[in-house]
Structure 1
Amino acid sequence: MALRKCLKCFSLLPTHVPKLPAATRCLASLPLDVVDPKNEVVREPDAGKSPLECPDYFGVNSLVTMEDLLKARVHLGHKTGLWNPLMKRFIHGSRAGLHILDLDRTLPLLHKALNVTAHVAYRGGIILFVNERPQFEGLVQRTARDCREFFITQKWRGGTLTNSYMLLGTLRLPDLMIFTSVPPSKTAVKETAMACIPSIGVVDSDCNPSQIMYPIPGNDDSPSALRLYCRLFSEAILLGKEKRKSDYADKPEPVSVRTEESTELKSNANNNS
């Protein structure tokens, strides 16, 4: 209550909280069998839809709310003198010399990024967490291990993606890159784009969002914000994997992109960390 009162005083609290339209409710969450007026059990007509046809197949939109973003200080940007003009559309205003990010823009973009993450995990894709900031090294490593994915938490070696066979001894590249904060050198971001790998990244007011496929405008310095991002990505990945197991419980699973090379990639990537 005190936090909301404080934010209202500084005009930082968004005027409304976006709600998911009724038309976008996940059809997969409905019961598979329904009863028609003749008391005959019939098959739910949308039960056979593929995950790509459902806007929120994994229910990731319920993982985070506007209040969660405010409590984690996601809306606080950098000083007004240190900003990237390309972030203008994501900035709500400024207060006390700091840019205030527009959470009305952040929340739907975060939902979209989590949905993409869950879909990649559902398909058995390889997800690589990248963070070059030493203060968050342990947090990012624990997050990747908890959801059984990969990480690089030290300085990015040039050619990791563009020359992976020479550096890692494998041609297998990640299916998704998650930047919990955009690295200052930007080498990893550029290589990700050159390798045509989808990327998700938290972009603060001083970042270039055009280099990230799924940007998330938000604070990339606050420990509370980083803990929130890591928790959300971990939960989205686990939801995707659990949904894969349940969907293919009674039938053979499709061929996964995770091969023996992916195990080698994990070993080499973690060794480089």
Structure 2
Amino acid sequence: MANKVEVKELLDAGVHFGHLTRRWNPNMAPYIYMERNGIHIINLYKSAAKMQEAGEALKKIAASGRKILFVATKKQAKEIVTEQAERANMPYITERWPGGMLTNFITIRKAVKKMASIDRMKKDGTFNTLSKKERLQVDRLRAKLEKNLGSIADMSRLPAALFIVDITREHIAVKEAQKLNIPIFAMVDTNSDPREVDYVIPSNDDASKSISKVVSYVADSIIEGLSERKNTKDSDKEDDSNEGKETKTRAPKAKKSKEDVEVPSKDPQDVKAMEESKEDVKLESKKETLAKASKDNQEEE
């Protein structure tokens, strides 16, 4: 189970501050607690409940071994999202959202492969055969690709979910995810429409402290799911190895020796009859030898 969210911690981080009342989205009304000095205040009890719900869902996705893409291109969220996404070993976009990132994923993968091919050129020496101008152009292309797509180099297929900071700013990412039915987890402020998101976390998406609090909780939930996956894999390996040892150490069936073979018991009458027959045979053989000896003596005389 994901860690429990403390309302006091959210209050200290300033998660409850919304936008100006004149810039609000009426669909956020269920998550607004009150209005103060022309600013909407978000209900932190609902925020805490929604954070836990989102954390549980993200934990299950991470435990299944699929990727969650973090998206945050606003200045105050870039460094925080980069740090937390790397901690959770997940891909992220903190520069400009490349159009068709999800809907035209094959082309994006080609650009990532181009980056890998440039690296191979540098290793095998092909890069040094180019002219100075060409080498400069290739270096610039490599730097541009690294800046925009370096963080998703290991993402070989579409992500299982998106975590977005400020859906109003990242509306293109939201539209692409909706088109492909990819679930969206997002920090939603009072000026955004929560209907566009599958898992809403009503919160202040402008303050760095608020962003850090929510994103770190999300990263912790993902890490928990990954550790569960690792533990289950390790236990499965142990079970397999134990089964293998049992089959190897299983003793073969012992063969019965001649001494162990049971000889059926003989009947006493049969034994007596056999002994008598043996005596008769001996007497007959003696008689024959005596008769032969007497015959030989007569012939000699």
TM-score normalised according to structure 2 size: 0.62
Aligned residues: 194
- What is the letter of the counterpart of residue 173 of structure 2? A
**Larger Rg computed on CA atoms:** 2
Offset at 1:95?
Answer: 0.3
Offset at 1:104?
Answer: 2.1
CA contact (8 A) 1:165 1:171 kept: no
1:163 matches 2:104:
yes
Query: What is the aligned-residue identity percentage?
Result: 31
CA contact (8 A) 2:31 2:43 kept: yes
Aligned equivalents of 2:39, 2:191: Cα separation in 1: 11
CA contact (8 A) 1:164 1:171 kept: no
1:195 matches 2:180:
yes
What are the residue-to-residue correspondences of 1:137-156 with 2, within 5 Å?
Answer: 137-156=78-97
Gap runs ≥5 in structure 2: 111-154, 239-301
- What is the letter of the counterpart of residue 81 of structure 1? R
Offset at 1:70?
Answer: 0.8
Offset at 1:89?
Answer: 1.1
Offset at 1:116?
Answer: 0.8
- What is the letter of the counterpart of residue 247 of structure 1? T
- What is the letter of the counterpart of residue 103 of structure 1? L
What are the residue-to-residue correspondences of 1:27-46 with 2, within 5 Å?
Answer: none
Match of 2:20 in 1: 79
Offset at 1:211?
Answer: 0.7
CA contact (8 A) 1:132 1:183 kept: no
Match of 2:48 in 1: 107
Q: Counting helix residues as a fraction of each chain, which structure ranks higher?
A: 2
Match of 2:229 in 1: 244
SS of the residue 1:248 aligns to: helix
1:208 matches 2:193:
yes
Match of 1:130 in 2: 71
One of 156, 162, 165 as aligned partner of 1:177? 162
CA contact (8 A) 1:147 1:238 kept: yes
Q: Deviations over 1:197-256 (max 9, x none)?
A: 111000000001111110111100111111101211111111111111222322159xxx
One of 196, 215, 233 as aligned partner of 2:218? 233
Aligned equivalents of 1:138, 1:185: Cα separation in 2: 17
- Work out which structure has the larger RCO, using CA pairs closer than 8 Å and 6 or more positions apart in sequence: 2
- What is the letter of the counterpart of residue 103 of structure 2? T
SS of the residue 1:224 aligns to: helix
Aligned equivalents of 1:142, 1:61: Cα separation in 2: 20
> RMSD in angstroms over aligned alpha carbons?
1.7
Gap runs ≥5 in structure 1: 1-58, 254-273
Q: Deviations over 1:9-50 (max 9, x none)?
A: xxxxxxxxxxxxxxxxxxxxxxxxxxxxxxxxxxxxxxxxxx
- Which region of structure 1 is more displaced relative to structure 2, 174-183 or 213-222? 174-183
CA contact (8 A) 2:63 2:228 kept: yes
- What is the letter of the counterpart of residue 60 of structure 1? A
Match of 2:264 in 1: none
CA 1:151/1:185 → structure 2, altered by over 3 Å: closer, same or farther? closer
Offset at 1:138?
Answer: 1.4
Match of 1:258 in 2: none
CA contact (8 A) 2:76 2:207 kept: no
